[in-house]
Structure 1
Amino acid sequence: MRLLHRDPSIRAVEIPRPIVPVALAHLSGIVIGLALAAPPGWLAAVSVISLLISARRLWRARRIDGPELGTGWPLLVAVAALGGLQGGALERGDRAATATIAPLVGEKLVEVTGIVAEPPLERPYGVEILLESATLRPLRGGAPAPRSIGGAHRIALLVQGEAAARLSGRPLPVPGARVKAWGDVLGTRADTRPGTFDSTAYWRGRAVVARLSVDRPGDLLLGETVRPWRSAVHRLLRRVQEGLARGFASRLPARHADLARALVLGEAHRLPPAEREAFGEVGLAHLLAVSGLHTGVVLGLLVVLARLSGLSPRRGALIAIGGLAVYMLLTGLRPPVVRASVMGFFILAGLALGRFTTALASIALACCVTLLIDPRSLLRLDWQLSYACALSIILLAPPLGELFGGPADDDPLLGARRRGSRWRHRLRRWIVLPFAVTLAVQFGLAPIQLFYFHQFNPYAPLVNLPAIPLTGVALIGSLATGLVGPVPVLGAAAGWVGRIALDLLLQLNQAFAQWPGIRITMLPLPAPWLALYYALLLGGSGLLTGEGRRLLLTVRQRASLAGCMLGAAAVLAWAPGPPRASGEILDLFILDVGQGDAAVVRFPNGKLMVIDAGRQPPADQGRLVVAPFLRTLGADRIDCLVLTHADADHIGGAPYLLDHFPIEAILEGPDLSDSTTFEDYRARREPLRDRVIRARWGASLKGFEPVAIHLLGPVPGLNDNDASVVLLIDFDDVEILLPGDLEQAGERAVIEAGLSRDVEVVKLGHHGSRTSTSEALLEAFQPELALISVGRNNRYGHPAPEVLARLREFGVATARTDRDGTLWLRTDGRRIQLWRYAGKRGRP
């Protein structure tokens, strides 16, 4: 793409092509080092020997830019060994830091002192603060000794609840400030919840080895600044951002001002949850995260202004470099913006120095530089998205444009422009090529989206076709509004443009959110399928034509490209997915919702029952865990929602399910709560009051044949936990008892009523509390397997040691969500199979 009008003084000299294989060798070395953690001595020896061999080859060739530089295996081996050294050091450092912090994971009251590493991030649940050079000191008697975390590793403070409310409206700590906090230490949990965001990979990419949950007011103290220059820079940037926010508020309505802050400053948390979720479902969430797209819009604006002003390419490039630097400061030096700006800097620097570089070579050089400085960047989600997006546009978009729109009419290989092709040329430029770009990005990012988010939008190319240019106008208008908002005439004009563009973007998002199947939830691709997928993409792009020149695809190449793209789509469609329904199988899933309850039952006749929905607050487990899992199963409705009782850890996620899934029937126990959570649920349930069924002791549920469902509770005359809905699922020779939060008084009532029978599986009542799962219950029901839904390191001590000892005494096997993740039990009415999701990347 021509950035500036051509100047004869600019020499068509590319960055040496060997930079591309060198970048690939470096990246491959880091990956191998992370996977194998090879001894550094061997890698250093290999690197030195390879460099000596390469130097000898160069000396004999008597030149440094010959073929040996790019294709000579010694140089590539040396670079790969260097990457292996970096990756191995990174892996060993992570293991050492994790081992250091491991004895403190689970401690209930720990004091943490550290220095703020990055600008705090405001999340829907509260504030996320990363601390470096942190020291953790347990305050409980007999606890492990204090531990210190140094180097590049960090501790994440999750400030939520009342502590986050106290921070609301107050200045957040800036990088370089010392912070002291008290709370419970949490690990970086494994991947235990299919269909949800992969937090383990996210935290590792940010060098976080432990998290501290800060809930109580007064448990966070902001200390003195220990790195004044760093703090001064970030304070200045914060003041600039606050000035932009005031400009938005002065000229835009509140809803549009919040969207402007999301587009320009990345403050997506200011949008209403429903609106923010709609952007994610439609496939436009990337518009709310300041990234390379926004940087590209700003760069394009700078280039257009330079061309209109008649500046020479060199001066225009220098001005564009300065403009990108200013934009980086306005966004608070966010890593995606810095990374995209670095890519642009290399291209613009080549123009400023009188050299012309290809985009692929510039990206390869930027990749080498960033990974040399910080090899952990490879593990960051934003780094992976940035480079995957850029490579998809460079390698895949040109052949796709040729496939859909044919060669350009002014292609130098075709000679002069053909007559009568003006409208065809415009169609290609404004419709075909943008669609090819969005389709290429969709194919390139799909595996990454599945890996982290377990979902993607099949309509993304169509959605982004109008959304991206509209976002460009909204971004420029919003930025101008923030800068000149106080100026009477200019501010009003900029605000008018920004308001119209932002309003159109909001309407576009709402319109696409109504489309059926707008979001598909899947499991991540297994490694062999992932390799096959990207092999097909490379075969459809880089192996067909060279990069950096116009394409003229033959009929055979077009067929090959179409076949490769269809093959990649087939990999996504036919890859091993979530467990499918079977006409002879019953599936029971005990979801990992922390300290709460949520289960999903899929019956042989295809019907779906959800039993409880997890807790809220602080986090809505219905939105974060239950709903994504249902979408993973391909469920678009809930046949029966069972709420065993009214505690917040059982019904907290129910309002979200009521708003987002058609529900045929709701089975409830007595209304025995006046909590805010229950009142919210009852208000959302009001439109469905004709579908509410009151659970009756001794009744049975119909419509799930050949499975029989008996109600052993709520027991008449009992209250609180003993008034829980108790289900007994009977499928041929297998019976499963689900007692809710039933405690010993309720257990005795069920037994004395003669409702007990031998069962194969029991889910422990009240999360394994010492007040439940009595000896009488175990003697009466004789279970062989106990499932425990419990939060990791919960403050209640669940499951109680005496209950676990009782289960061992009766020879009952156990599986628990805090250690094993989501539990999947499958039975055909005769045999039982149990899978644990922990550490399985969403697969049993």
Structure 2
Amino acid sequence: MGNIMRYGLLWAATGMAAGILAFSEFSLSWGILVVLYGLCWGILLAAWRLKQVTAVVCICAVLTLLTGYARMGLEQRVWEKQAHCLSGSEGTYQVVLKEKPSRSVYKSGDMRGLAELEKIAYPDGESRDIHGSVYIYFPETQGPVLLPGDRWYVKGALKPVRLYRNPGKINLAGRYQSKRLLGKIYVENPEEMKAGGVSGKYGMLRQAEIWKGRLRACFYRAMDKDHGPIMMTLLFGGSYDELPEGVIQSFSDTGIVHILSVSGSHISLVLSFLTLAGRWVRLPEKIIILLSITGVLGYSVMAGWVPPVIRAVIMGILSAGGLLFNRDKDALNLLGAAVLCMLLWNPLLLYDVSFQLSAGASLGILLFYRPAAGQLKQISWIPRFIAEGIALSVSAQLITIPLVLYNFHRLPSYFILSNLWVTPFLEWAMLLGLGASFSLFTCLPLTGICLQAADFFVGLAVKSNYIIAGLPGASFPVRAMTWMEIGLYYWVLLLLFFHDYWKVRRRAAYGALGVSLFLLLGILAETWYRPSMVAYVLDVSPARAAVIRDGESTVVYVKNASIALPLVSRETDSFLQYLGAKKIDLLLWDDTESREWSPVQLSVPIMNVSAASGEKRQITDPVLRRIYGVNKNRSRWRNDEGLYVMGTGPSWIVSHGKGCLFIDGGKLPGGRRGEHPVHCAWIGGAGRFKGTVTHGKIKRLQPEAAVYTGNKGQQAGEEMALFHHLDCPVKDTRDGMAVLSYRKHWELE
């Protein structure tokens, strides 16, 4: 109980986060919420008067949970009041840029900028005030630099943001909602964008961009053409579109990509720089602290003053500052205070992966750095600075590993080496860059000296990092962890952290052993009760994609839709990595409705292909060899474990024992019903021009479950209704990825 009271703010932040998560799972009216609040406060006052410490702590925990729930409810109400009715509306939009536009990663030659909506003028002359934000995509031109606060009149249609709800990737829904993002406007002709002057909004961000522009020009003149953008990104983040090709990938492979975005380590470095500078000129300690915090706030404005930067500033000042000024005992509470403030300000940050990783890394350092460093320092042959570097690198990773595996599906092998060797060079470059930034307005010769030295360190760091990233097995794919595995992982961390506690309390040790056995048995049960065949039907409409797992075998089905092909490749590839698939045993490729050759591109090796093409094009063996490296188009395929696939044009049957999946491309498989496996599930959808489902087809197949995917429209609604009429469970992938699992019969999960 003493530890709970001691770290009250940390536990309060945890309760707040639990309440935010509970909002998506439970529905409570505001009346019930008010009643619960009143009851809790009454019980709390009574327990306080009776000095019942345990009851006080429990009621406080419930209150923080209710606060998180209520805060998320308020956020949802604000979101629902945004102008969602604008979706699809065409007209001239009056907008104000909220950030400096950057190059789009999805379409070469396009720029993307986040803008605040002010007004819309419809083609009939009517206009109205509107609220919300929008992404504007427009061709890159050689005109004046666009800055925050610029007002523009943009002609076009507001298209809704399409979020594909497949697991194993960064959650963008919360990020877009926190930005009040209503959609996108695509500008094909630059003449459809007209300048409207400076609005007067976002003045601080605008001035920061002007200062950064001056620094950028100075850095680019004095440094190598590739090192200048890296230097700007190291200092202020956000310049990723200007980085040389391959830099981000190499930093990801070595586990130090976090240094390219403003985080707690940047704030700590700036605090250290300002503190050392203050002590060098012999300022009083309190003045140094005040000036350092002021400097950090100014630095955060230069870095964009967007939510991730604000989060890094608060967490950096409180948690890193706690260590800097020898307030180790308060550091966990300060971290809790930072998280609590951020969640009260914006509860949707809880779903932002950058917030999760930053908070997790900070917590890992505060919990495990000193114990790990103490253990490593006992090894006589490891130098002290290396022991501390290893402890810092490992402790920062411990809490975040499940998050990294879920979102990125890879782990770096040499992150300790890169943190010990590459990161110090980059930190020296950052210190020199900060020195150059301050001396630019006071002593130009010193600026040149600092930038020349920084250029050397950046070059050394980048070359060293390329060498490490090029080593065999620099990073390796790892599947996401199950809930039971995540529970066991964090339970082991708790056992390690409280190992002294278990040693002296026998009952607690027995309880810990019981929890460990329960989690181990849960993992064994997950493995034992795993379906013999499972099909994951992805949300990628208007295309179709499914991943079928049978033991260690993987079959992937893709029905091409040319306009969505990059999306299909990206979503399918991410999900395969999420599952930990090492290879695709058979790719089922339906290219019958595409207008031109446009094969799906996957990073997972493909062993065999069964392909169907349109009437005017034939997928020949040389085509398959050139695209996928396989020598034959297989209409029938069987593996040693008994998985059998048979193709009939654009339709396939995937079967094992008495269970089969019918992938409906419009043609019904040959033979009578009794010749096919007893238990059948159906995957399909309306084609581009006509439906594929009939009463007779369903009667013949007698599916136990169905998943509807692909193009949408009136035909889709009629076909879904037919399944319901025949009492066949059916799910539409518009509601997110669907899962069909087969044990003794098929069922939708």
Aligned pairs for 1:313-352 (under 5 A) are 313-343=285-315, 345=317
Partner of residue 713, structure 2: 797
Distance (Å, rounded) in 1 between the aligned partners of 2:446 and 2:83: 60
| TM superposition shift of 1:366 | 4.1
CA distance, structure 1, for counterparts of residue 515 and residue 101 of structure 2: 36
Query: 2:458 aligned with 1:501, yes or no?
Result: yes
**Aligned pair partner of 1:518 in 458, 475, 495:** 475
Superposed displacement of residue 443, structure 1: 1.0
* More displaced 10-residue stretch of structure 1: 332-341 or 289-298: 332-341
Q: 1:397 aligns with which of 337, 362, 369?
A: 369
User: Structure 1 residues 354, 573: closer, same or farther in 2, change over 3 A?
Assistant: closer
- CA displacement at 1:431 relative to structure 2: 0.7
Quote the Cα distance in structure 1 between the aligned partners of 2:625 and 2:66. Answer: 58
Is contact 2:610–2:647 with CA below 8 Å preserved after alignment? no
Distance across 2 between alignment mates of 1:608 and 1:666: 12
* Equivalent in the alignment of 1:465: 420
Identity across matched positions, percent? 18
2:591 aligned counterpart, secondary structure:
coil
- In the alignment, is residue 198 of structure 1 matched against residue 171 of structure 2? yes
Q: Which residue of 1 aligns with 2:493?
A: 537
User: Offset at 1:311?
Assistant: 4.6
User: SS at 2:364's partner residue?
Assistant: helix
Moved more, 320-329 or 129-138: 129-138
Q: Which residue of 650, 657, 662 maps to 2:605?
A: 662
Equivalence for 1:413: none
Unaligned regions of 5+ residues in structure 1, if any? 1-16, 58-67, 141-145, 150-154, 408-422, 546-554, 558-562, 714-724, 837-844
Which letter does structure 2 place at the counterpart of 1:325? L
> What secondary structure is seen at the aligned counterpart in 2 of 1:39?
helix
| Deviation at residue 195 of structure 1 after TM alignment | 2.1
Are positions 1:40 and 2:40 aligned together?
no
Give the Å deviation of 1:31.
Answer: 3.7
- The aligned runs of 1:298-697 (5 Å cut-off) are 298-343=270-315, 345=317, 358-367=330-339, 369-370=341-342, 377-378=349-350, 380-406=352-378, 427-450=382-405, 452-453=407-408, 456-457=411-412, 460-477=415-432, 490-491=447-448, 494-495=451-452, 497-505=454-462, 507-509=464-466, 511-512=468-469, 514-516=471-473, 518-523=475-480, 526=483, 533-534=489-490, 536-538=492-494, 540-541=496-497, 576=523, 585-603=532-550, 606-612=552-558, 620-621=566-567, 624-645=570-591, 654-655=600-601, 657=602, 660-669=603-612, 686=626, 689=629, 691-694=630-633
Q: Give the corresponding residue for 2:206.
A: 235
Q: Which deviates more, 531-540 or 110-119?
A: 110-119
Q: Distance in 2 between matches of 1:566 and 1:463?
A: 37
For 1:822, the equivalent position in structure 2 comes to 737
Quick one: which amino acid aligns to residue 195 of structure 1? G
Between the aligned partners of 1:348 and 1:763, the Cα distance in structure 2 is 53
Indicate which of 704, 708, 711 corresponds to 2:647: 711
**Equivalent AA in structure 2 for residue 28 of structure 1:** G
Query: Corresponding residue for 2:158?
Result: 183
- Give the partner amino acid of 1:125: Y
Distance 2:322 2:46 in 1: 31
SS in 2 for 1:654: coil
- Partner of 1:824, secondary structure, is strand
Contact 2:19 2:67 in 1 (8 A): no
Q: Structure 1 residues 363, 621: CA separation in 2 closer, same or farther (over 3 Å shift)?
A: same
Once the two structures are overlaid, the 10-residue window that deviates more, 236-245 or 645-654, is 645-654
Residues 692 and 212 of structure 1: CA distance in aligned 2, closer, same or farther (over 3 Å):
farther
Q: Secondary structure of 1:644's partner?
A: strand
Letter in 2 for 1:214: I
Given the alignment, which residue of 169, 174, 182 partners 2:148?
A: 174
1:508 positional shift: 1.7
Kept in 2: contact 1:405–1:432 (CA 8 A) = yes
Q: Which of the residues 265, 271, 281 maps onto 1:293? A: 265
Is 1:165 the counterpart of 2:142? The answer is no
Structure-1 residue corresponding to 2:684: 764
The offset of 1:482, in angstroms, is: 7.0
Change in Cα spacing, 1:156 to 1:516, as seen in structure 2 (3 Å) is farther
The residue type equivalent to 2:134 in the other structure is L
8 Å contact from structure 1 (residues 343, 366) kept in 2: yes
Letter in 2 for 1:245: R
Question: What letter corresponds to residue 377 of structure 2 in structure 1?
Answer: G
Instruction: Determine the C-alpha separation between the residues in 2 that align with 1:249 and 1:387.
Output: 34
Whole-Å separation in 1 of the counterparts to 2:695 and 2:69: 55
Residue aligning to 2:8: 21
SS in 2 for 1:599: strand
Instruction: Please say if residues 112 and 138 of structure 2, whose CA atoms lie closer than 8 Å, have aligned partners that are also in contact.
Output: no
What is the total number of aligned residue pairs between the two structures?
722
CA drift of 1:308 comes to 4.6
Q: Which has the higher contact order (CA 8 A, sep 6+)?
A: 1
Distance in 2, matches of 1:252 and 1:433, equals 32
C-alpha contact (below 8 Å) 2:681/2:746 kept by paired residues: no
How far is the alpha carbon of 1:338 from its aligned partner? 3.3
Confirm or deny: 8 A CA contact 1:592 1:789 kept in the other structure.
Answer: no
- The verdict on how the C-alpha distance between 1:242 and 1:489 changes in structure 2, with shifts beyond 3 A counting, is same
Secondary structure at the counterpart of residue 547 of structure 2: strand
Greater CA drift, 90-99 or 37-46: 37-46
Letter in 2 for 1:43: Y
Q: CA deviation at 1:686?
A: 3.6
Within 5 Å, give how 1:107-126 maps onto structure 2: 108-109=88-89, 118-119=98-99, 122=102, 124-125=105-106
Give CA-to-partner distance per residue, 1:564-621, whole Å, 9 cap, x none. Answer: 99999999999859987999934333222232122223345x3333233866767833
Stretch deviating more after TM superposition (72-81 or 566-575)? 566-575
- Decide which moves more: 39-48 or 754-763: 754-763
Deviation at 1:237, TM superposition (A): 1.4
Query: For the aligned residues, what is the CA RMSD?
Result: 5.6
TM-score, normalised by the number of residues in structure 2 = 0.76
1:613–1:651 Cα contact (<8 Å) kept: no
Structure 1 residue 630, shift from structure 2 partner:
1.7
The 1:702–1:806 alpha-carbon spacing in structure 2 relative to 1, beyond 3 Å, is same
Q: Is the 8 A contact 2:590 2:613 kept in 1?
A: no
> For residue 841 of structure 1, what is the aligned residue in structure 2?
none
Question: What's 1:549 paired with?
Answer: none
Cα distance change on mapping 1:244 and 1:308 into 2, 3 Å: same
CA change 1:221–1:790 in 2 (3 A) is: farther
After TM superposition, give the deviation of residue 79 of structure 1 in Å. 6.9
Instruction: Supply the AA of the counterpart residue of 2:160.
Output: V
Provide closer, same or farther for how the CA distance between residues 250 and 832 of structure 1 changes in structure 2, counting only shifts above 3 A.
Answer: farther
Whole-angstrom distance in 2 between the partners of 1:614 and 1:275: 32
Residues 638 and 485 (structure 1 numbering): CA distance in 2 closer, same or farther, change over 3 Å? farther
**d(CA) in 2 for partners of 1:801 and 1:377?**
36
Q: Is the 8 A contact 1:769 1:799 kept in 2?
A: no
Classify 1:168/1:280 alpha carbon distance in 2 versus 1 (closer, same or farther; 3 Å).
farther
Residues 1:284 and 2:259 aligned together: no
Corresponding residue SS for 2:168:
coil
Contact kept, 8 Å, 1:616 with 1:652, in 2: the verdict is: yes
Asked if the contact 1:823–1:835 (Cα under 8 Å) also holds between the matched residues in 2, the reply is: yes
Asked if the contact 2:590–2:611 (Cα under 8 Å) also holds between the matched residues in 1, the reply is yes
Given that 1:188 and 1:211 are in contact with CA atoms closer than 8 Å, whether structure 2 keeps it comes out as no
Output the CA distance in 1 between the equivalents of 2:169 and 2:65: 32
